[in-house]
Amino acid sequence: MSSPLNLGRKARLDRRAILQDKFSHQVTAERKRIAWEEVTCAINAVSHVTRQREGIKKKFINFKSLVKKSAALKREQEKSGEENSLLS
């Protein structure tokens, strides 16, 4: 059985263009809402905890921010010649 994280990732990747693109005539608020509902249903189908659309969306935004910060820190460390203590 797929984990909720993997299933959520797959559901999100299938709808990536809609979820991440800016609003336009092709990407509307309604289409984004429906895409997030589909991701929520996919996660809730395999999870023991029922989650709401806004909670899943918030977790995704927070995770995306964390990944960006981590990548920026890694770039800065490589630029200054520092080593990441977790990798040593």
Q: What is the pLDDT of residues 2-29, one digit of tens each?
A: 565 665 666 666 677 777 777 777 778 8
Q: From CA 27, how far away is CA 36, in angstroms rounded?
A: 13
Q: In this structure, what token pair is assigned to residue 68?
A: 């960006």
What's 27's DSSP letter? Answer: S
Give the up-direction half-sphere exposure of residue 15: CA atoms within 13 A in the CB hemisphere: 19
Q: pTM of the full predicted structure?
A: 0.63
User: What is the average pLDDT score of the chain?
Assistant: 80
- Residue-range domain boundaries for the chain: 1-54
What percent of the chain stands above pLDDT 70? 73
The residue assigned the tokens 């395999």 is 46
